[in-house]
Amino acid sequence: MCDEHSVDDMIELNQRGGDWTRRQLGQAGLGTAAALLLPAGANAGGKTLAVKEAEVSIKTPDGTADAYFVHPASGRHPGVLIWTDILGLRPAFRQMARRLAESGYSVLVPNPFYRTRPAPIAPAGATLQDEKTRTMLFALAGTLNSQTHLTDAKAFIAFLDAQPAVNTRRKIGTAGYCMGGPMVLRTAGAFASRIGAAASFHGGGLVTDKPDSPHRYINQMRGQALIAIADNDDKRSPGDKDVLRQTFAAANQPAEIEVYAGAMHGWCPPDSMAYNKDSAEKAWSRMLALFDKALA
């Protein structure tokens, strides 16, 4: 997941001047993407679909999860479950989900920390440069584990399958960012009969030496995968991509695994200090290609 090393890298990038300026960071903080507007989504025919959106509550064995659900205004469409990064459910992820819905998907983005508090997790104007905020976020992340990932995935998939806007004849896709990467692999492996596509973006801790390491779920998967790796994450753990490639190959599971040169951990969400527009758009296009192929 996002760790102190990743945060330090993001702060250093911001101080040097990247796609985010200090002024933009100060304006946006955690929780708004007002300074960076994403393009509208479009389906395979190039049309931007009208959408409906709602804040929803989902019962789980551990409580009630608050979540954002957005889908095309008419018809039934493949479901997609998005796992957020360590900053949780916020406007940037609502914006990303809406864009995906405009492309023809029914998208659910839960608050991963619902057991502790509802979204938003961080106060308006807070940033990862603030030590108190970092400490709070890492403590929240520490309350989640492989078992909570699976418990939540089961409840969220059931929610999607119960919605009239979801076409249950089609497989579900799942995508995750930062700490959401491990959730993606575990979801795709544990619920292989339902998950047809899995995408991880700058996912942290995909390969560990623990029995419940996310990469150990690959041999249970029955869908296609996209693993987009941050350049600085790869430099710290250069062997992880090889383990992932070998594991997917041994499981005979198709996977696109790529290190995004020059893109730092956190490069995809538009409110991240490490946001890299060109690399984020490339990753988005690869996700759309995966979903269009695997969920059709």
Half-sphere exposure of 172 (CA within 13 A, CB side): 31
pLDDT (tens digit per residue) in 29-41:
454 444 456 888 7
Cβ atoms of residues 276 and 259 within 8 Å: no
pLDDT at 25: 43
pLDDT (tens digit per residue) in 93-116:
999 999 999 999 999 999 999 999
Q: What is the pTM of this model?
A: 0.91
pLDDT at 227: 98
DSSP states along 2-68: --HHHHHHHHHHHHH--SS-HHHHHHH-SS--TTSPPPPP--TTSPPPPEEEEEEEEEETTEEEEEE
pLDDT at 8: 63
- What residue ranges of the chain have pLDDT lower than 70? 1-37, 44, 125
pLDDT at 124: 74
Length of the chain: 296
pLDDT at 31: 45
Cα–Cα distance measured from residue 153 to residue 67, given in angstroms and rounded to the nearest whole number = 13
Domain 4-294 CATH (choose: 1.10.443.10, 3.40.1390.30, 3.40.50.1820, 3.20.20.150)? 3.40.50.1820
Cα–Cα distance measured from residue 59 to residue 37, given in angstroms and rounded to the nearest whole number = 32
* Enclosing H/E stretch for 76: none
Q: Which two tokens stand for residue 230?
A: 């941050």
E-strand stretches of 128-248: 172-177, 195-201, 224-230
